[in-house]
């Protein structure tokens, strides 16, 4: 019985890890999301959605939806400052290594 519980817990943890990896790869699978990450990394600090909207020539609602996917995957975090939504890369070094050519 103990062996069964141990196997169940290990399998459950592995599935959770695979789901997290899947979410990360899905988030990085859209070119516009890669452009958002690339811009913020090259800029060296956080960027506002309005700035990203102008850069990518997309409506702010479209950019916001992509930001949500990146945030849910743990790649970005956001802060609301007055009426602006500021986006920052969570772990710059890790993301840069992942995106390295």
Residue ranges covered by each domain of the chain: 2-99
pTM over 0.85: no
For the chain, which residues score pLDDT lower than 70? 1-16, 101
Q: What is the SS3 assignment for 77?
A: strand
Farthest-apart Cα atoms in the chain, separation? 59
Q: Can you give the pLDDT at residue 94?
A: 80
Q: What is the SS3 assignment for 98?
A: helix
Identify whether the C-beta of residue 95 lies closer than 8 Å to the C-beta of residue 37.
yes
76, burial (CB in 10 Å: exposed 0-12, middle 13-18, buried 19+): buried
Q: Can you give the pLDDT at residue 24?
A: 81
Contacts by residues 11-18 (CB-CB < 8 Å, ≥ 24 positions apart): none
CATH pick for 2-99 out of 3.90.380.10, 3.10.580.10, 1.10.3720.10, 1.10.10.10 = 1.10.10.10
Q: Can you give the pLDDT at residue 5?
A: 43
Q: Can you give the pLDDT at residue 9?
A: 43
Q: Which two tokens stand for residue 42?
A: 């090259």
């Amino acid at each position: 019985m103990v062996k069964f519980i141990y196997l169940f817990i290990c399998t459950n943890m592995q599935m959770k890890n695979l789901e997290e990896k899947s979410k990360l790869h899905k988030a990085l699978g859209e070119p516009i999301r890669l452009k958002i990450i690339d811009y913020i990394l090259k800029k060296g600090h956080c960027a506002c959605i309005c700035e990203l909207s102008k850069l990518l020539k997309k409506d702010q609602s479209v950019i916001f939806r992509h930001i949500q996917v990146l945030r849910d995957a743990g790649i970005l975090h956001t802060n609301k400052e007055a009426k602006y939504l500021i986006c920052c890369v969570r772990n710059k070094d890790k993301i840069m290594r992942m995106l390295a050519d």
